[in-house]
Chains A and B, each alone.
Chain A
Amino acid sequence: MSGFRTLLYKEILRFWKVLVQTVGAPVLTALLYLLIFSHVLEEHVQVYPGVTYTAFLMPGLIMMSVLQNAFANSSSSLIQSKITGNIVFVLLPPLSYMEFFLAYLLAALIRGFTVGLGVLLVGLFFADIELRHPLWILAFALTSGAVFACVGIIAGIWANQFDHLAGVQNFVIMPLTFLSGVFYSIHSLPPFWQSVSHFNPVFYMIDGFRYGFFGQGDVNPWLGLAVISPFVVLLAGVTLMMLKSGYKLRH
Chain B
Amino acid sequence: MSPAVRLRGLEKHFPRVHALRGIDLDIEQGEFFALLGPNGAGKTTLISILAGLTRASAGSVEIMGFDVTAHYRDARRALGVVPQELVYDPFFTVRETLRLQSGYFGLRHNDDWIDELLANLGLGDKANTYTRQLSGGMKRRVLVAQALVHKPPVIVLDEPTAGVDVELRQSLWTFIRHLNKQGHTIVLTTHYLDEAEMLCERVAMLQEGRIVALDRTANLLHAGAERRLLLDLVASELPDFLKPRLKGREGNHYVLDLPDFGDLEGILAQLRGAGITIRDLALRQADLEEVFLKVMHGGRP
Q: Mark A82-98, 1 if CB is under 8 A from B, else 0.
A: 00111011111111100
Chain B CB within 8 A of A17 CB: yes
Contacts of A13 in B (CB 8 A): 91-92, 96
Measured in the bound complex, the distance between the Cα atoms of B106 and A6 in whole Å is: 8
A residues less than 8 Å from B106 (CB atoms): 2-3, 94
Say which one of B22-30, B97-105, B212-220, B240-248 lies at the interface with A.
B97-105
Task: List the A residue with the shortest CB-CB distance to B97.
Answer: A89
> Which chain B residues lie closer than 8 Å to A94 at the CB level?
72-74, 76-77, 104-106
Tell whether, in the assembled complex, residue B89 and residue A93 are in contact, meaning their CB atoms are under 8 Å apart.
no
Residue among A84, A85, A94 with most chain B CB within 10 A = A94
> CA–CA, A90 to B104, complex, Å?
7
> Interface residues, chain A, CB within 8 Å of chain B?
2-3, 5-7, 9-10, 13-14, 17-18, 81, 84-86, 88-96, 246, 250-251
Q: Does B227 count as interface, using CB distance less than 8 angstroms?
A: no
Are A246 and B55 in contact, CB atoms less than 8 angstroms apart? yes
Residues in B neighbouring A5, C-beta threshold 8 A: 103
Q: How far is the CA of A9 from the CA of B103 in the complex (A)?
A: 10
Contact between B53 and A88 (Cβ–Cβ < 8 Å)?
yes
A17 cross-chain contacts in B, Cβ below 8 A: 91
Contact in complex: B53, A91 (CB < 8 Å):
yes
The closest CB in chain B to the CB of A91 belongs to: B53
Q: List A contacts of B97 (CB < 8 A).
A: 89
CA distance A88 to B52 in the complex (A): 10
The contact of B90 among A3, A84, A88, by CB within 8 Å, is A84
Please name all residues of chain A whose beta carbon is closer than 8 Å to the beta carbon of B279 when the two chains form the complex.
Answer: none
Q: Is B81 an interface residue (CB 8 A)?
A: yes
Given A86-B89, A94-B77, also A2-B72 (CB < 8 A) = no
Q: Taking CB as reference atom, which chain A residue is nearest B77? A: A94
Cβ contact of B76, chosen from A9, A14, A92, A251, cutoff 8 A: A92
Closest-CB distance, A182 to chain B (whole angstroms): 31
The answer to whether A251 and B100 have CB atoms under 8 Å apart is no
Instruction: Please name all residues of chain B whose beta carbon is closer than 8 Å to the beta carbon of A18 when the two chains form the complex.
Output: 91
Q: Which of B91-123 contact A (CB under 8 A)?
A: 91-92, 96-97, 100-108
Selected contact of B104 from candidates A14, A84, A95, A246, CB within 8 Å: A95
Q: Which one of B52, B54, B92, B103 contacts A92 once the chains associate, using CB atoms below 8 Å?
A: B52
Q: Give every chain A residue within 8 A of B48 (Cβ-Cβ).
A: 251
Which of B72, B91, B108 is close to A14, meaning CB atoms less than 8 Å apart? Answer: B91
A85, A89, A246: residue with the most chain B Cβ atoms closer than 10 Å: A89
9 tightest Cβ-Cβ pairs between the two chains A and B: A6-B103, A93-B104, A94-B73, A85-B87, A251-B54, A94-B76, A2-B106, A86-B89, A86-B87
Contacts of B108 in A (CB 8 A): 2
Report how far A182 CA is from B172 CA in the complex, Å. 58
- Smallest Cβ distance from A243 to chain B, in angstroms? 13
Chain A residue numbers with a CB within 8 Å of B104 are 3, 6-7, 89-90, 93-95
CB contacts (< 8 Å) of A251 on chain B: these are 14, 48, 53-55
The answer to whether B105 touches A89, judged by C-beta atoms less than 8 angstroms apart, is no
Docked pose: A84 CA to B87 CA in angstroms: 7
Chain B neighbourhood of A91, CB < 8 A = 51-53
- Which residues on the A side are within 8 Å of B54 (C-beta)? 250-251
CA A146 to CA B81, docked complex, whole Å: 34
Contact present for A92 and B91 (CB under 8 Å): no
B38, chain A: closest CB distance, angstroms: 21
Nearest chain A residue, comparing its CB with the CB of B102: A6
Contact of B81 among A7, A90, A92, A250 (CB under 8 A): A92
Find out whether the CB atom of B87 lies under 8 angstroms from the CB atom of A92: no
Residues from chain B with a CB closer than 8 A to the CB of A92 are 51-53, 76, 79, 81
- By a CB distance below 8 angstroms, the chain B residues around A3 are 103-106
> A70 to B101, alpha carbons, bound, how many Å?
25
Q: B190 near A: Cβ within 8 Å? A: no
Report the nearest B residue to A8, measured CB to CB: B103
